[in-house]
Structure 1
């Protein structure tokens, strides 16, 4: 079959206005004068009718969660808000406030240090669970999947994210979240595959290391985030959202307490100098 020139149609070029509008494309928010809608819901219908955890879910997932899903997400957000002024992000927020900046600067300074080492363990743990789950989906039993994913990490002496804690023998936040996750499995809110994987990692580690490294806040929230269908990137984002509450509270408290240019320790404690001994430049001839 041949096509004549008359049958060939060419799409009209986009107008400058359309090209400008297409520069940023979003399915999250629709705003016009006098109207604001999130994921299609007018803001006036959301205010006073849904909670903050539900709003978070709507914004990042596009749909509203069930009440049980929202409650499980909120439990994770509550659990991660703070871990004391010795946590680097919290300490930075407090020090920043004593330098005369405002609360937004202190909060930004604090959240900027929440990276792979401090703040990224939940994301890494979820990635670990997904790797184990992928092997199971390919047909491997759990024990084989655990061995295949975890043994190389142990052999390379890499720390396993989400297990053990430098301060707590047992992270006091974890058992309650595990209990809530199990209740959610029993109620049919979540499937339970990642609960099994997370607790399986804990058991595998106990056998491999001959000591029990219990799941911590990062490991258990990663289990719940995986069960709820959040991506690893959002696991980190949700932790930072949660910890921002503690950061804000500490920054505000420090502002009330006052203090000026406070460093990480009182000046009287000093620090250890490890450089060369006292020396001087040779005088020129």
Structure 2
């Protein structure tokens, strides 16, 4: 760009295929908003905006199940706890929500993305001709060399995550119906079998792993697994922040005022 920018150059700077907004016109991926309002669910709109086309009813139901499963895990979750505290500090509901969302990092909120990366690596090796069990073992070894935590497996509260069965059953049904291929489900089952070897108790797949399977089967890239989780968990963050705001408490801290933190002298 040389000289003064033209109007067209400025318009091209913000070129987008996501939406078109002009006087009296709103379109999402080329569809008039009037049509979208009339026939598309919120989850369907998420798919439309991210993928550029509408999902099939079966794809939409599977995506919705994964997003419903992730909405909340109570004040044990740091994102929920901090949103509730923020709601008592004289800031707006949007600020409280942003506070919670901003805690969704690699350790809290990122396991789904990481698990999908791991499962993608397994399916990629399979596509190159490596048997499933060998591919899964190699990728698990690589991840274990990086961290003692394998993303998407095991849970600090649940021996078996109560969200596991309903989600994986839906994926299995979708495989049987030809909606998805099943490669990510098979990869996750292979990892689960590896982790169960030689242990008195298995290390079952958790919500992050289950949603990684769903998002992988539906063709979402690993970074979008975290983005979709953030959208889902925002519902719980909003509900908790709103509940806390209505309780009238001011400046809520992480522990009750009657409890004094342990002092550890140097």
Q: TM-score, normalised by structure 2?
A: 0.96
CA gap of 1:50–1:156, structure 2 versus 1, over 3 A, is: closer
Please state if 1:73 is matched with 2:68.
no
Please state if 1:98 is matched with 2:83.
no
Please state if 1:109 is matched with 2:109.
no
Q: What is the deviation of 1:156?
A: 5.1
State which drifts further: 55-64 or 203-212: 203-212
CA gap of 1:157–1:33, structure 2 versus 1, over 3 A, is: closer
Report if aligned partners of 1:205, 1:211 keep a CA contact under 8 Å in 2. no
Aligned mate of 2:246, from 235, 248, 256: 256
Please state if 1:196 is matched with 2:186.
yes
Partner of 1:274: 264
Report if aligned partners of 1:178, 1:220 keep a CA contact under 8 Å in 2. yes
Aligned equivalents of 1:112, 1:73: Cα separation in 2: 23
**Structure ID, larger Rg:** 1
CA gap of 1:136–1:38, structure 2 versus 1, over 3 A, is: same
Aligned mate of 1:145, from 127, 130, 135: 135
CA gap of 1:259–1:143, structure 2 versus 1, over 3 A, is: same
Partner of 1:280: none
Aligned equivalents of 1:94, 1:246: Cα separation in 2: 11
Could you list the runs of 4 or more consecutive aligned residues of structure 1 that deviate by over 2 angstroms after TM superposition?
152-158, 208-211
State which drifts further: 175-184 or 154-163: 154-163
Please state if 1:231 is matched with 2:227.
no
Aligned mate of 1:34, from 5, 24, 27: 24
Q: What is the deviation of 1:49?
A: 0.9
CA gap of 1:192–1:20, structure 2 versus 1, over 3 A, is: same
Q: What is the deviation of 1:209?
A: 4.8
Q: Equivalences for 1:39-188 in 2 at 5 Å?
A: 39-155=29-145, 157-188=147-178
Q: What is the deviation of 1:258?
A: 1.3
**C-alpha RMSD over aligned residues:** 1.5
Identify unmatched segments of 5+ residues in structure 1: 1-12, 277-285
Partner of 1:279: none
Report if aligned partners of 2:137, 2:191 keep a CA contact under 8 Å in 1. no
Report if aligned partners of 1:122, 1:221 keep a CA contact under 8 Å in 2. yes
